[in-house]
Structure 1
Amino acid sequence: MLTGLTRSLLVATLLAGAPLAATAQDFTLRATANSNEDDEDYDGLVVFKNYVEQASNGRIAVEMFIGTQLCSTGAECMQGVADGAIDIYISTSGGTAGIFPFVQVLDLPYLMPDDRVAEAALSNGTPFMQAMQQKVLETSGGSIRLMTVGNTGGWRNFANTERRIETPSDLAGLKIRTVQADLPQVLVRSMDASPTPIAWPELFTSLQTRVVEGTQNGITDIMNMKFPEAGLQYITLDGHSYMGALWFMNNERFQAMPDDLKRVVVDGFYQLQQATFASPKRKSIQAYQDFVAGGGDIYVPSPDQKQAFLEASAPVYDWFIENVDGGEEMLAALRETVAQVSADIDAARAADMQ
């Protein structure tokens, strides 16, 4: 039999020789956003980090990398997530359209009428989100998970340097900046304007020199980038697309966690999503005030004018269904979800109005 001293020495030796077992439930997550500390992405990550580290009692640490410290392009960052070099990454739909073309469904115009509908439709568990998450897993060969969809900048609106836009015909002939993805270019052409792909860092100078005369952005991005100083003076609040922020995570990293920590991470992304939903609402108040104070013109289309924009954008839907693998399926899922949540919201609103 082991003596007390021998037994103690043996236990100490075993513990000293098994550091992996002792730290198997400790995780450090490397999260990156190619933005800055004024952005909703940063706000969301701060909330995520705080929640996850506290709720896990320190068993999970979150390292934040803001800007291009870990990767510089959407393709490079997504490859990092797939390889496991990056644990968490946020991208717009345009930034990942080359890998997951179906996520461009978020850019289809005039599908979701307002924040309340958009936030309900993008909540995890809806038919649309379940379809998106499953499609991301399948397309990535099981290497990447879509954790949630938040917001980054509110709603995308038409803004330009030349004139007030009240109807689609007012856009005719304008050179409108787009990303490289096809869908936003098809949208601009459907309004008889000229799509001009320009990198985001080059947009200020391009507006200033009239290489482009307009863009599609939310007010916080417009003001953060000081576009009015480059001549951008007209905004039409047509709200043609909700600026969805897709938060991805390396699937192997997630699956390596025990269930209690998986729950913490999933709940952390819910907290992050809610923070990014709220952030642009707050920030846009001052941004709109500053835009008007600088001489900017803001126009809100009437319901009939909004319908005219919707009808003009019909070619975008045809292009999406015909050219995007899984596009018809994803569009159907989003339409089903929007109809479902809209009905629920209308019923709740009616009850509140009694």
Structure 2
Amino acid sequence: MKMRTMALGATLAAALATGASAETLRFGHYANTSDTPHKAAEMFAWIVDNMTGGDLTVEIYPAGELGNSANSLQGARLGTIDITVTGNPYFTSFAPQVNVLDLPFLFESPEHAYRVLDGEVGEELMTSINEVGLQGLAFWEIGFRNLTNNERPINTPADLEGLKLRTTPNPAHIEAFTILGANPAPMPFAELYSALQTGTVDGQENPTTHIYHSNFHEVQKYLSITEHAYTAAPLVMNQAKFDGLPEDQQEALKVAGKIAAAYERELNRVLETSSLEAMKAAGVEIVMEPDVAAFRELVAEKTRAMYAEKFGDDLLVKIDALAPSAQ
């Protein structure tokens, strides 16, 4: 009996010790619960929990509950929240080199983007993020961006003339739409539905899955599949918080981030077709083959030159070398 009591006591002590060391991380992001970033966040949390035996858990706060994208990113830097994921353009003010990923018509395909993000260039860009109080865990994605608006179908650059479009805060995006004759209006993603509904802006540009799962098709009449830019979404964590975790938990966060990235990418590919079909059924007029070459001719070289003037062309050369057409 004494031995059994001692064994039970030891088991209880171990359980209490485990409970004392357990930690919960707060993960805030911008996306709705039906959208793929949230699905990836759920996968990420599940993997972390399982890899650490419950010693490290992740609580997810979707749809801007902990602040819009800019505020969440700043919160992760300051440590008021632990983890966030948001579009690459929101890193502009403190890690501007990563804006190379957002240049119009930079990537030939999703596979081209993934070669870049998962290789040497991605590591170099993540290092620049790590230098500003954030630990980069993985590159998730927003995806290839397409245009919607309430005024007219967009077939050529001329059709954009005078349209007020919500864009990201990336200087290359703003410059590109200015060249194309639109009036770019950066604003937080969380404010966009209302802005479209009230006519504060005429349109916006986001990947097909984002457009559908954010219900923008309810307040937009026209969609053009321009795929004019790709947007990555770095998954980042407060650096001090990360550094304070045991090595096995740090490794779990990195592994979970990369697995969830692959999961999100696959979800986006699968859902693109169904999202298009659903929006067409809802009455959105879709231009499947706008004159993409005309858009590219006007903005691609000018925005690349603008980036190269500030940061050089080393990364651009490396990215071009990974294109399918260069293999």
Alignment match, 1:109: 104
- What is the aligned-residue RMSD (CA, Å)? 3.0
Alignment match, 2:63: 67
Q: Which of 300, 316, 319 does residue 306 from structure 2 map onto?
A: 319
The 3 A distance-change label for structure 1 pair 271 and 174 is same
Any idea what SS the aligned residue of 1:197 has?
coil
Any idea what SS the aligned residue of 1:32 has?
strand
CA distance in 1, matches of 2:243, 2:237: 10
The 3 A distance-change label for structure 1 pair 335 and 276 is farther
Residues 111, 335 of structure 1: 8 Å contact kept: no
Residues 139, 258 of structure 2: 8 Å contact kept: no
Matched, 1:150 2:132: no
Within-5 A mapping of 1:1-354: 26-69=22-65, 71-123=66-118, 126-138=119-131, 140=132, 143-152=133-142, 154-230=143-219, 232-301=220-289, 305-313=291-299, 314-322=301-309, 327-328=311-312, 332-340=314-322, 342=324
Aligned length: 317
Identity %: 25
Once the two structures are superposed, what CA deviation does each residue of 1:90-138 show, in whole Å capped at 9, x if it has no partner?
Answer: 1112323223222322221111121222222211xx1211111111122
Unaligned runs of 5+ in 1: 1-7, 347-354
Once the two structures are superposed, what CA deviation does each residue of 1:147-173 show, in whole Å capped at 9, x if it has no partner?
Answer: 111123x32112222222222223222
Any idea what SS the aligned residue of 1:243 has?
strand
Residues 70, 188 of structure 2: 8 Å contact kept: no
The 3 A distance-change label for structure 1 pair 197 and 77 is closer
Residues 31, 89 of structure 1: 8 Å contact kept: yes
CA distance in 2, matches of 1:204, 1:29: 29
TM-score, length-normalised on structure 1? 0.78
CA distance in 1, matches of 2:21, 2:316: 37
Any idea what SS the aligned residue of 2:228 has?
strand
Alignment match, 1:4: none
Once the two structures are superposed, what CA deviation does each residue of 1:228-263 show, in whole Å capped at 9, x if it has no partner?
Answer: 332x22222121112311111122222333333332
Letter in 1 for 2:211: I
CA distance in 1, matches of 2:322, 2:207: 27
Q: CA deviation at 1:144?
A: 1.0
Q: CA deviation at 1:268?
A: 0.6
CA distance in 1, matches of 2:207, 2:90: 17
Structure 1 stretch 203-212 or stretch 265-274: which is displaced more?
Answer: 203-212
Any idea what SS the aligned residue of 2:71 has?
helix
Unaligned runs of 5+ in 2: 1-5
The 3 A distance-change label for structure 1 pair 85 and 193 is closer
TM-score, length-normalised on structure 2? 0.84
Residues 176, 196 of structure 1: 8 Å contact kept: yes
Any idea what SS the aligned residue of 2:58 has?
strand
CA distance in 2, matches of 1:338, 1:168: 25
Q: Which one has a bigger Cα radius of gyration?
A: 1
